[in-house]
Structure 1
Amino acid sequence: MTGIRTAVVTGGMSGLGAAAAARLAEDGLKVITLDVAAGADLHVNVAELAAVRDAAERIGPVDVLVNSAGVVGPNVPLWQVPLDGWENTFAVNVRGTFNTCKAFVPGMRERGWGRIVNIASVAGKDGNPNMSPYSASKAAVIALSKSLGKELATSGVLVNVVAPAVISTPLNAKTDPATLAHITSLIPMNRLGRPEEVAELIAWLASDRVSFSTGAVYDISGGRATY
């Protein structure tokens, strides 16, 4: 494949999304950020399929999709989770990933090359206490990616998942301090991860340097995830 590749990064104005956007730009990609925050290239709520489809039409051909838009959701025991809190967490974290994949995968298939990197969490494998909506939504992202990876396995389009432990991002500023302290204590390296560390893994998964991996989950957890 020749020419400059185009990457779409959702949630691209902060945290892992911003770090990924900057790192992909360093690799020479044209990066387009989708976010509800000010300053994004396109102001898009990924939970709304019509808005995502409109953005896809405006952007045109896309080679790389990084799904980083996400919310933490309620930090309470499951039986105290309000229904709207549950539904909003799934709307952004799961439906948002579904919507962007649905919008951009057909073009990738037609061109015979693409890289999709979906951001999940070790919470989607372990289940964090007092974070059942977040944990369940990230488990759904993992399963969605595994299915999509198999569906696209011979198409030239690879789909992989990055599952970080706690990373120092604005997203975690909204996490209950006690819950945050607990999940941080599970990291053997005894520190939070940095967004740029995750961005390096994303950049590899978005490139030609990965060729024999799809539907896989890549932990970046300071030693927390060992399976």
Structure 2
Amino acid sequence: MPYDVPFVPTPEVVVRRMLQLANVRRDEVVYDLGCGDGRVVIIAAREFGAQSACIEIRKDLYEQTLRRVKDLGLEDRVKVIYGNFFEEDLSDADVVFMYLLTSVNERIRPKLERELRPGTRVVSHDFEMPGWKPLIVEDLYEEWRSHKIYLYKIPGMEVPIPTEGIKNADTLLHDENLISIAKLIDGNRSIEDIALKTGLTNRQVRNMINELIKTGLVKELRLIK
């Protein structure tokens, strides 16, 4: 079958810089759309401590990446998916890595806007995302040519809405981390605001808020786009 994008590997120095610009942190989830030989997810897992998932439609490249992941003992940190990234659920991603084409970026943009949570970073090698304004555009010179890196962030907010019981978090909760998060929830601060204030990742804050929802101290996590 024909493929929309040829396999051209991103040099490892460019991969590392892209992951740095996206500020990938331990246990965040990195998705690579069209992962080729798996170098992005492998570097993300080994050097940044990320949980990674890569989607590859070519059977030979999928099998090659699967073998490499097993050889490196990274099965617990890297998930290799054989399939079409247009058909896979991307909603769990904290960071999405792409080295596609501008035309393919344009086609996948509605899916990313629909599925990715606010604050999710999207980093693209060489090809911009039409209609999006990048946070960073960086030129990186490597051996024989220049590479361009585009960093985007999904707009909007996830705002935890407290119940009246949140005022009694000190007496109702026994986990100091949950108590510290509960004290920051006022119906206005977003997950990203709380993450910045505490030094946690959005994912860590979201997980704690889900625990607070179970206790009844938080009513819901409201999505504002």
TM-score (norm 1): 0.38
Instruction: Please say which structure displays the higher CA radius of gyration.
Output: 2
Structure with the larger strand share: 2
Does 1 or 2 have the higher relative contact order (CA < 8 Å, sep 6+)?
Answer: 1
